[in-house]
Amino acid sequence: MASSISGLCSSSSSTLIRKPHLAPPPPPKSHLAETLKPSFSGKSRHILTHAVARDAPVEKKGGLERDPKALWERYTEWLYQHKELGLYLDVSRMGFTDEFVKEMEPKFIKAFKAMEDLEKGAISNPDEGRMVGHYWLRNPKLSPNSFLRLQIENTLEAICAFSQDIIGAKIKPPSSPDGRFTQILSVGIGGSALGPQFVAEALAPDNPPLKIRFIDNTDPAGIDHQIAQLGPELASTLVIVISKSGGTPETRNGLLEVQKAFREAGLNFAKQGVAITQENSLLDNTARIEGWLARFPMFDWVGGRTSEMSAVGLLAAALQGIDIKEMLAGASLMDEATRTPVVKNNPAALLALCWYWASGGVGSKDMVVLPYKDSLLLFSRYLQQLVMESLGKEFDLDGNRVNQGLTVYGNKGSTDQHAYIQQLREGVHNFFATFIEVLRDRPPGHDWELEPGVTCGDYLFGMLQGTRSALYANGRESVTVTVQEVNPRSVGALIALYERAVGIYASLVNVNAYHQPGVEAGKKAAGEVLALQKRVLAVLNEASCKDPVEPLSIEEVADRCHAPEDIEMIYKIIAHMAANDRAIIAEGDCGSPRSVKVFLGECNVDALYA
């Protein structure tokens, strides 16, 4: 693995920014003035729940170009190329007009200015009063002050050093007969899992120095499965726990389950545990006090869904032998390209333009992501969170109720051909497609012909192009993103491309892309359910401690919990407890809620006096 170690963090390619060579020349600059008026004057952020301030859906004039010669002209005119990254963006199968592009110009001027201010350190997440700095992670010199720059650089240096020490067996697990770490168990959820999962699937070598598994949910069966799959290799497993606060319930539960497995195996968890969290968080303090193997920082100016280029994503990638500096270099090159304030020469702006055109600026159509490469299967899941959690907002930045968003789903090609392409071509027209094309089929010298002149990869290419053409022939629009091959640089570029596209589109529709109040509301509601469950348990325990035991109806439990308005939730709590042998149905059955009478299997006397 010497080559993997040396290539891990010491990429021969510099992360210095070089300007891309662009295929199309910049269009003439327009001096069109901003014509859109704000819904009300001033800077007030009060919630106006009665107002709907988003723009009316875009009125599409004309139809899709059908003439082959004119379509070729449109293709060559609008094709974006980044030569250094080997990346192309084809928007010719979107039906936007020159008039639409010109109408959108004032919005884009505003969006480019917002992105410029964001990168300079402006408070771009006003609801939480935070800067947004994931762009600094791949070019620390852009950081608004030297302290942040040093934080980023020191973290990257620490990740590289730690990863090389683990891979090179300088740091060893205390109880492993192998004498080296062989597995990674990553415990995290949301952005702390989706990014690392995508990168692992896309870039991990066939035989990585450490194989990775994920606990990304609080499903007991799923956790048990991951731990069981490790078997005796639990003794040589590096456990990475990722949580900004350390209080995320799913991550905390996963940690407790893993620690239990370590205790039962007679292993010292602390000597194999790594924390990625904010400084002085609950998790950070726990790891420090217990003497975990290592701790790496998370920053409050990096959100979970944009954290792949932080320790959240880079540590796991480096431990798998992935060249993380090449990932950063690809992202940095794309960042430079997407700062261009000319829509036609800015691939992220072109994506945002297409999203606005297709969905009317109000999310009226879904985005179907179709990567025609097995290693990019998880890209659609990654984009699902990045796009939907960023853009799916009830209120805009002025406090108007707008219910914005853009729905994302997808599968891989050509599996899609045997799944839902039938509906996409002939069914309800409520989507636009995004094809992800990879030109390189196999490493050089490894391809062969299945039949004269045709390889296996040719079939995949034909499926992509045929599906794109068939959809367009039936009036279905699409975008195609093409990369030369799947490697750390191109994956870094894809992540950066879509991060910027989301930021620009959020500005076009005037929403905060960097908070998630709906997620927080769900967490709060889940906490209320668990609090209610504790009250239900107390009531059932009291009834079960009577002599004789007093089985209670659902209505009686709700009444004694002083929560008659929550009777349906109380029924669901009891049904779940009964299914897991934590409550006994004395009468009736859960299919007929009014017939049920329930009690606990045993009396917990201590709980009566707690």
DSSP, collapsed to helix, strand or coil, labels residue 265 as coil
CA dihedral 353, 303, 336, 501 (to 10 degrees): -10
Give the separation between CA 574 and CA 585, rounded to whole angstroms: 9
Helix, strand, coil tally for the chain in percent (to 5): 50, 10, 40
Contact yes or no for 304/191 (Cβ under 8 A): yes
Buried (b) or exposed (e) across 17-29, using 16+ Cβ within 10 A?
beebebbeeeeee
DSSP assignment, residue 400?
B
Give the separation between CA 305 and CA 328, rounded to whole angstroms: 16
Catalytic: which of 418, 446, 451, 524? 418
Catalytic: which of 523, 542, 555, 556? 523
Tokens 């005119």 sit on residue: 77
Whether 451 is catalytic is no
Which residues contact residue 276 at a Cβ distance below 8 angstroms, ignoring those fewer than 6 apart?
A: 188, 192, 240, 241, 242, 243, 295, 296, 297, 298, 311, 312, 315
DSSP assignment, residue 24?
S
DSSP assignment, residue 280?
T
Contact yes or no for 191/252 (Cβ under 8 A): no
Cβ neighbours around 30 below 10 Å, total: 11
Whether 523 is catalytic is yes
Which residues contact residue 132 at a Cβ distance below 8 angstroms, ignoring those fewer than 6 apart?
A: 118, 124, 125, 301, 303, 306, 514
Sheet holding 584-587, edge to edge: 552-553, 597-599, 584-587
Catalytic: which of 389, 437, 477, 499? 389
H helix runs in 474-516, sequence order = 488-508
DSSP, collapsed to helix, strand or coil, labels residue 36 as coil
Tokens 């891979």 sit on residue: 167
Whether 82 is catalytic is no
Q: What are φ and ψ of residue 88, in 5° steps?
A: -125, 150
- Residues constituting the chain: 610
* Residues assigned a catalytic role: 389, 418, 523
